[in-house]
Structure 1
Amino acid sequence: MSRGAGSREPGAGGAGSREPGAVWDTFGYERTVLVVARTLTSTYRLLDALDLFGDDFRIRFVFTVNATSAFSDGVPDVLRDAGITPIPWTRVAAGDVRYDLALSASENIDFEHIRAHTIVLPHGLGFNKYVPDRTGTGQRLAGLPPERVLRDGKATVTLQHPEQITQLLAACPATAGRTAVVGDTAFDRVAASRGLRAHYRAELGTGNRTLITLASTWRTDSLLGRRHALPLHLLGELPADSYQVCAVLHPNIWARYGRHQIHLWLSSALDAGLVLMPPHAGWQAGLIAADQVLTDHGSLGLVAAALDKPLLLSTPTEETVAGSPPHLLARSAPALAPDAPLLPQVEEARAAHRPGQYAAVTSRVFAHTGEAATNLRNLIYDRLALAPPGPHAPTRRIPLPVPLHRRVRSHVVQTATPADGSLDLIRFPASAMRADYPMDAHVVADETEPELKIVERAAAIVRRQVLDAVEARTWARATLDAYPGARLALTATADGCWAMVRGAGEAWIGSPRWQPEDVATAASALYCCWLNRTLGDRAVTVRTGARVHEFSVRFTPSSTAPAAP
């Protein structure tokens, strides 16, 4: 790790700064670190960094919120959920708080009120874009503290790569001796978690489908800023049994609009099966689990490239610094065409990907891989004039995600009959229904489908909850009476499903590996038999994505019903 110059003495209050109320303490800590939160993004990065200091009773961390950002909303809630009661910023500004070092992941805190040296952590990857200044009328290089702060030696800026030293010196000579290259702790955690990929996919319910992760930064030139409905359009074009779609939104989006508004804007996509990662965690698992990433000029595109994921990038933006890694990545990765069909673009980009094709770009982003936690911890201990508790800091792997993920209750189904006589089903979520589906496609709706119009359009209505034969008949009759547009009503039974075909008869459908959720697949198989006038006692082989279903059908015409096997 390379370091800049500066004093290593503890800050305000001298060594071992303690609050006046220390008489009430249980633990005799020696140093206090003031952690300055400002935005959701910076707060999450700070909370992650503090994992490096577990079990060390010598240091106490106290939080405060410098709520000077348009994206400060929600920060107190995040801290509260983490079990943290922040000190009011007014006390910090008044000089009523004693501490030895300040820690922040924002370059925009009010440094004039900080009375100790500040270590500034990155909240993204490098210094790659221009963003609005605090007045909203100009631009500044994201990640760089004010020149006067650096000139006065009040802060050390941690860097992820030695190349950034040269970049910052050219942009601001006052950075000389005020930086420390430590690596990137967030990426090291991602890299250390790659072995958990199967666990993340299991938690997301991906199975053997191809997982497409959308990773969008903020502002109008971001991926979703340009294409608001991209998640829904993907879900409407990618077959549901072959693809899953996950979305990761920049925390600034959540802070700006709030959870309710975002869920409202994405409501149809969520009903169509979109996996939505929360703002505080999950982006790492979403990238690791992905088979392909659609993204923009934000930091997650570089992380995905370092993970060697096939990429599709939105067109470059003017805010990206020319010659920076995001700028180079945008020139080397396939571009997402705004008006072309999505499925061919996704498949072509994945087929064209070659392992290691982005290594030349990502080698300029990540340095000291696997060492960042130890480097950062040692830098902080050095500033506190304390010896680190051991030679290596822990690198904690990413926990299982807890995303928002609704079950898809209804599908629009297209069918194909290969030469072997089997039946291929190509299914799309009904809530993402497009106008250009073939006329011979049919809708299979779960009885719990929240959108009434979908149920009213359904050719088949299904129930996943298991009923016995008598209950099944009663339910099926009532369902067909309630929805005159439906041709079939099917419900799961203990060993298959029971179906009533309007004006034709009843059927029992079974399978050697029957699961209650197979009732929707069985509904399409039975509907196609009815449509093709092949309804009778028979075997039907059905494919949904990579899965093969072997169904046996026992059909009884008119009013007599077969005895369940």
Structure 2
Amino acid sequence: MVARTVTALTRLLDVVSLIAADRRIQIVFTVDDERPAIFEAGTTALLDDLAPRRIPWPRARKTRFDLILSASENDGLSDLDGPILLLPHGLAFQKYYPGSEVVAGLDPARLPPTGAVTVGLSHPAQRPPAGAPGAVLGDPAWGRMLAGRHRRGGYRAAFGATGRRLIVLASTWGPDSLLGACPELPERLVAQLPMDEYRVVAVLHPGVWAEHGPWQVRAWLAPASGAGLRVLDPDTTWQAALLAADCVLADHGSLAGYAALADVPVLLGPRLSGTTVPGSVADRLGERCARLVAHADLRAQVDAAIRDHDAGAHRAVLGEAVTEPEATASRLRSWLYRAMELPEPPFPAEFPPPPVPVVEAPPAGAWVAGAGAEAGLVTITRFPALGAVHEELPYRHVVARLEHATATQVAGAAVLGVDAVPEEDPFPHWPHALLIASAGDDGCRVWTRDGRAALLRAGDPAVDPWALASWAYRRLRRAEPLAGTHRLRLGRRIVTLRAEGC
């Protein structure tokens, strides 16, 4: 396994998932540190986390291997001894090297002259460089996605999207990428989408993390993360996010194509890319999919992409992307064992599903909420406090959590959230607050200025108990008692709320 970048390494891990458990095979990893990649940062850390057997490049050059796997022709493959399988590290080969007409991944000048390299193709319509044999093997990343389709509910729960629409921001690198063209998109999107109706997840190309560094990337995304954005680490399985998505905002990178293969609505970024190969999946999607208007209403565009999507609409575009995808595991495993001159195991070949990711998001510090009512049903609508005033909301108010909000947010909040029951009366310190609230597994406890208290419980355990404080705020503003059983709309849910106490 020649691990050049995080992107290449994760693609190879998809491949060897078919053979890694075979006790007849020892898998070793190496890095060509004589020809370091531009986006090499993060590769060593991922290898450290995986803890495989690793050998230095000079030793790899002196060793005879039964099979060599690479996802980049930029590695010094001609220095290695053994049959080589060269795979794309994206969906087929759909980009030129910048400033050239050489297809990335298929540069004949960088391939060994001996013909020892076999180029793995995902469809018979694709062609390897002259002189290099090709093998139609399918796409292992898409194969793993197919193997995980039955876990969609678990993936959605891991992203906190149960009962919400899950929107995925999938950006490659470079100025024409989604975030290169719209760097403020994460903050604007989470600010315009109601918290209880949408969840937003960002999947950035590992090259973005490698070029700028994890600290800087997280710092840039901190305002949106503090407002609910989930950010996947570069070594987290992005396949789970695409399988869970209701809509994907993407660009000319491969993730738009994988989302389309999964029949997910795709909304592309505003910029075309000059590196896209004509006739490729990225090129065809660019002609078919709607493009984001960066400064227009983002929620309206997302909702329109979901509403106007026709199931199966991408099939014609993706006809030459992956051949017989259900057969990828068997086709690829058979090729690997033939290359190693080993008999294939007797059990069927099958990719493991992408694991359910562990995605943590910092607690929201503050939000703007409204509480309207129609026909006896109170509707709570909440937006992150990211600059938008939302004066249109009925009974508009700000909720700020003392342990997580800024001093400015707390000073202007009508509802103050605390992580634990206060030991002393906090109201004298916060003259603008009408209500104190604390949310936990048992519901939401609220305290009023005149010493009354109540415990609010929702009949649906998926409901964020903090939202119940906004219902109590409206009742207090209207001088209505809190006790009793009530109905509440929160996002797409209608739940029963029971209040015990005052």
TM over 0.5, yes or no? Answer: yes
Deviation at 1:300, TM superposition (A): 1.0
1:255 to 210, 214, 219: 210
- The aligned counterpart of 1:484 is 431
Structure 2 distance, partners of 1:330, 1:219, is 17
Q: 1:458 to 1:295 in 2, by over 3 A?
A: same
1:108 paired with 2:71, answer no
Q: What whole-Å deviation, never above 9, does each CA across 1:462-508 have from its counterpart, x for those lacking one?
A: 2354x5xxxx6x54x2x212223322213459976554434x55242
Structure 2 counterpart SS, 1:161: coil
Deviation at 1:397, TM superposition (A): 1.2
Structure 1 distance, partners of 2:452, 2:415, is 14
Q: What whole-Å deviation, never above 9, does each CA across 1:193-212 have from its counterpart, x for those lacking one?
A: 10111111122221111111
* Contact 2:454/2:482, CA 8 A, preserved across alignment: no
Deviation at 1:188, TM superposition (A): 1.0
Q: How does 1:515-530 map to 2 (within 5 A)?
A: 520-530=466-476
Q: What whole-Å deviation, never above 9, does each CA across 1:377-415 have from its counterpart, x for those lacking one?
A: 222322233322336423211111122323324321123
Q: What whole-Å deviation, never above 9, does each CA across 1:224-250 have from its counterpart, x for those lacking one?
A: 111112121111001111111111111
* Contact 1:160/1:183, CA 8 A, preserved across alignment: yes
Structure 2 distance, partners of 1:356, 1:493, is 43
Q: How does 1:171-210 map to 2 (within 5 A)?
A: 172-175=129-132, 178-210=133-165
- The aligned counterpart of 1:228 is 183
**Counterpart residue type for residue 301 of structure 1:** A
1:36 paired with 2:10, answer no
1:46 paired with 2:46, answer no
Q: 1:496 to 1:69 in 2, by over 3 A?
A: closer
Aligned residue pairs total 498
Q: Larger radius of gyration, structure 1 or 2?
A: 1
Structure 1 counterpart SS, 2:241: helix
Structure 1 distance, partners of 2:441, 2:91, is 54
2:49 to 81, 95, 100: 81
TM-score, normalization by structure 1: 0.82
Task: Name structure 1 gaps, 5 residues minimum.
Answer: 1-34, 555-563
Structure 1 distance, partners of 2:359, 2:462, is 24
**Counterpart residue type for residue 174 of structure 1:** G
- The aligned counterpart of 2:361 is 405
Deviation at 1:80, TM superposition (A): 1.7
**Counterpart residue type for residue 543 of structure 1:** R
Structure 1 counterpart SS, 2:102: strand
- The aligned counterpart of 1:306 is 261
1:349 paired with 2:309, answer no
Deviation at 1:455, TM superposition (A): 1.6
Structure 2 distance, partners of 1:339, 1:128, is 29
Structure 2 counterpart SS, 1:236: helix
- The aligned counterpart of 1:152 is 114
Structure 1 counterpart SS, 2:353: coil
- The aligned counterpart of 2:194 is 239
Q: How does 1:288-367 map to 2 (within 5 A)?
A: 288-315=243-270, 316-367=272-323
Moved more, 283-292 or 543-552: 543-552
Q: 1:507 to 1:388 in 2, by over 3 A?
A: closer
Structure 2 counterpart SS, 1:428: strand
Q: 1:256 to 1:512 in 2, by over 3 A?
A: closer
Deviation at 1:552, TM superposition (A): 5.8
Deviation at 1:547, TM superposition (A): 2.8
* Contact 1:39/1:75, CA 8 A, preserved across alignment: yes
Task: Name structure 2 gaps, 5 residues minimum.
Answer: none
Q: 1:531 to 1:104 in 2, by over 3 A?
A: same
* Contact 2:209/2:234, CA 8 A, preserved across alignment: yes
Structure 2 distance, partners of 1:86, 1:55, is 18
Q: 1:445 to 1:111 in 2, by over 3 A?
A: same
Structure 2 distance, partners of 1:331, 1:520, is 44
Deviation at 1:220, TM superposition (A): 1.4
From the two aligned structures, give the one with the greater helix fraction: 1
Structure 2 counterpart SS, 1:37: coil
Structure 2 distance, partners of 1:250, 1:202, is 23
Structure 2 distance, partners of 1:347, 1:494, is 32
Q: 1:322 to 1:526 in 2, by over 3 A?
A: same
Q: 1:417 to 1:109 in 2, by over 3 A?
A: same
**Counterpart residue type for residue 54 of structure 1:** A
Structure 2 distance, partners of 1:114, 1:512, is 63
Structure 2 distance, partners of 1:285, 1:516, is 21
Q: 1:445 to 1:548 in 2, by over 3 A?
A: farther
Structure 2 distance, partners of 1:486, 1:522, is 16
Deviation at 1:355, TM superposition (A): 0.6
* Contact 1:526/1:535, CA 8 A, preserved across alignment: no
Moved more, 505-514 or 338-347: 505-514
Q: 1:494 to 1:426 in 2, by over 3 A?
A: closer
1:217 to 162, 168, 172: 172
1:508 paired with 2:474, answer no
Deviation at 1:301, TM superposition (A): 0.8
Question: Identity of aligned pairs, percent?
Answer: 36
Structure 2 distance, partners of 1:483, 1:516, is 31
1:461 paired with 2:408, answer no
Q: How does 1:52-91 map to 2 (within 5 A)?
A: 52-67=18-33, 68-91=36-59
**Counterpart residue type for residue 488 of structure 1:** L
Deviation at 1:530, TM superposition (A): 3.4
Q: 1:85 to 1:260 in 2, by over 3 A?
A: farther
1:544 paired with 2:490, answer yes
Structure 1 distance, partners of 2:152, 2:145, is 10
Structure 2 distance, partners of 1:498, 1:210, is 28
Q: 1:368 to 1:532 in 2, by over 3 A?
A: same
* Contact 2:171/2:250, CA 8 A, preserved across alignment: yes
Structure 1 counterpart SS, 2:190: helix
* Contact 2:269/2:292, CA 8 A, preserved across alignment: yes
Q: 1:406 to 1:282 in 2, by over 3 A?
A: farther
Structure 1 distance, partners of 2:347, 2:117, is 25
Deviation at 1:260, TM superposition (A): 1.6
Structure 2 counterpart SS, 1:202: helix
* Contact 2:192/2:298, CA 8 A, preserved across alignment: yes
- The aligned counterpart of 2:324 is 368
Structure 2 distance, partners of 1:537, 1:47, is 56
Structure 2 distance, partners of 1:426, 1:45, is 41
**Counterpart residue type for residue 249 of structure 2:** L
Moved more, 341-350 or 310-319: 310-319
